[in-house]
Amino acid sequence: MRIAHNNQIRDFQDFIWDFYAHNRRDFAWRGVEDPYKVFVSELMLQQTQTHRVAPKFELFVRELPNFEALAQVPLRDLLRLWQGLGYNRRALFLQKSAQKVVAEYAGLLPANPEILITFPGIGKATAGSICAFAFNMPTVFIETNIRAVFIHSFFRDKVTISDAEIMPLIEQTLPVDSPREWYYALMDYGVVLKQQCANPSRKSAHHLIQSRFQGSNRQIRGAIVRLLTKNQSMTEVALIQALEKDADRVKKIVEQLCCEGFLKRAKRALEIAE
């Protein structure tokens, strides 16, 4: 296990805080007191860049300002608001989580990562980040920009670095009195690192190259949801014609979307599920 000396910790913290003082990024979800807005932003930011999230986030929380509104909104309207963010499952997870918060926690988001990981679509890292940003709790978590910072700062001469090696350093360097701002600072420095040099995360044992989007099943899924969000209903034949894709492939994807709760069959047509 990698252990940093006190001087290393202090120097690292001083450097990060100094960087942050001069290069802080501002977003609508930062520094807010409303856990709902943090929760929405963290789900949106999973696998989606901040410049795509920023305009969608403000529209989303304006139309759906709290867990109650999100829990009750028709799926068609939810998917309309989500359009452009990709990975539509996250919208479904978000609504199911909101329904859980309303039904089981009186509309108040639990400030407990062990509870949050039981919510749909919430893993350990997201549960930790939600608690850090919504409640300023000193939870220990890792995400792509934080990973890049620690690899660049502590593992320059090593490859295939595991998260298990990085996590103790994150814990050691975490200021318990200001975890929210500290994690903002780490993420902001990580973004700059990736712009200035080869992405340090390539040396991570967990680094994966994202599969091509163009022509993928993910692209077809998104196109189907967009078409059925725009149109009240469509027959499967009309859907296949509009997509101009292999019929058997489209049918399999439609069946998956039905099983996942996105679509429903109404008579001979397909619709967004209610």
Tell me the C-alpha distance between 187 and 168, whole Å. Answer: 18
Closest to 175 (Cα-Cα) out of 5, 27, 2, 17: 17
42 is catalytic: yes
Instruction: Determine which one of 33, 42, 171, 181 is catalytic.
Output: 42
> What DSSP string runs through 125-163?
HHHHHHHHHHH--------HHHHHHHHHHH-TT--SB-H
Amino acid sitting at position 62: R
Tell me the C-alpha distance between 191 and 187, whole Å. Answer: 6
Instruction: Retrieve residue 146's tokens.
Output: 């934080």
Tell me the C-alpha distance between 184 and 164, whole Å. Answer: 22
Tell me the C-alpha distance between 165 and 21, whole Å. Answer: 28
Residue 174: CB atoms within 10 Å = 20
Q: How many helices (H) and strands (E) does the chain have?
A: 14, 3
Closest to 139 (Cα-Cα) out of 104, 103, 179: 179
Instruction: Retrieve residue 103's tokens.
Output: 């039904």
What are the backbone dihedrals phi and psi of residue 200, each rounded to the nearest 5 degrees, phi first? Answer: -60, -25
User: CB–CB of 9/170 below 8 Å?
Assistant: no
Measure CA 68 to chain center. Answer: 21
In this structure, the strands spanning 263-266 and 269-272 are: antiparallel
Residues recognised as catalytic: 42
